[in-house]
């Protein structure tokens, strides 16, 4: 991650029913800070604030660095890890990737075995997260409110896909804690030379303190 002083922060407020606008960005992948050397379960429940019941019942497929995870207590996240989260997916492929599913034994070559080496618990690092299908609307807003790091060009590409002018999509915006006119926001001159944007999104109502 770049020098924090070179990162521009963007906070957006939009109607709650428009959080799905960010689905493409969340599927493409974003970065978050975590305490590394800890298990997938610890990161999801303790660091991201998801309930153990939700993780068990709703997040049916977890890929860590491209490999399917069955035991979320043993799979350890390191600095630079990639984590993909999905609800149950249809078909044979979905069934074979499902956590602790009946077909798990048929994917031995792409199963994460669990490894506690490399990062000492408590070290701060960055991981890439991707969210898919039903989880986009369920936990996407959790990550957006918490705050995510995205590359400038990814954010530019995303903004260009919006079907309406910013004034019809967002209620308000702040850049580096300063209010910015939505028309000026859409021009994207505020991005300057920054390569990384820390993006946080709240629905209508007072802004919440954002974790960075």
- Domains in the chain, please, with CATH? 1-30+132-212 (no CATH), 37-122 (3.10.20)
Mean pLDDT across the chain, nearest whole number?
82
Residue among 77, 158, 65 at smallest CA distance from 111: 65
Which residues are within 8 A (CB) of 102 and not within 5 positions of it... i.e. 6 or more apart?
Answer: 95
Dist CA 108 CA 204 (whole Å): 46
Report pLDDT for 139: 94
Instruction: Tell me the β-bridge partners of 148.
Output: 199
* Tens-place pLDDT, residues 114-153: 555 555 566 899 999 999 999 999 999 999 999 999 999 9
Which structure tokens are listed for 82?
């990639």
Residue among 174, 176, 165 at smallest CA distance from 201: 174
* Tens-place pLDDT, residues 154-195: 999 998 888 778 888 899 999 999 999 999 998 888 887 778
Residue among 48, 119, 50 at smallest CA distance from 81: 119
pTM (2 d.p.): 0.81
Residue 4 pLDDT greater than 90, yes or no? no
Which residues are within 8 A (CB) of 25 and not within 5 positions of it... i.e. 6 or more apart?
Answer: 150, 154, 155, 158
Which structure tokens are listed for 100?
């602790």
């Amino acid at each position: 991650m770049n020098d924090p002083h070179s990162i521009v922060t963007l906070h957006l407020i939009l109607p709650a029913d428009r959080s799905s606008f960010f689905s493409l960005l969340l599927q493409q992948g974003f970065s978050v800070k975590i305490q590394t050397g800890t298990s997938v379960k610890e990161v999801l429940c303790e660091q991201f604030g998801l309930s153990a019941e939700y993780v068990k019942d709703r997040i049916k497929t977890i890929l860590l660095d491209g490999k399917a995870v069955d035991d979320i207590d043993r799979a350890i996240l390191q600095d630079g890890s990639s984590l993909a989260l999905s609800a149950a997916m249809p078909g044979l492929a979905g069934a074979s990737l499902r956590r602790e599913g009946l077909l798990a034994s048929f994917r031995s070559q792409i199963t994460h075995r669990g490894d506690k080496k490399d990062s000492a618990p408590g070290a701060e690092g960055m991981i890439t997260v991707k969210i898919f299908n039903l989880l986009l609307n369920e936990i996407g807003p959790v990550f957006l409110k918490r705050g995510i790091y995205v590359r400038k060009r990814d954010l530019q590409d995303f903004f260009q896909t919006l079907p309406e002018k910013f004034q019809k999509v967002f209620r308000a915006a702040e850049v580096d804690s300063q209010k910015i006119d939505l028309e000026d926001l859409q021009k994207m001159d505020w991005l300057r030379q920054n390569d990384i944007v820390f993006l946080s999104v709240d629905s209508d109502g007072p802004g919440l303190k954002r974790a960075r």
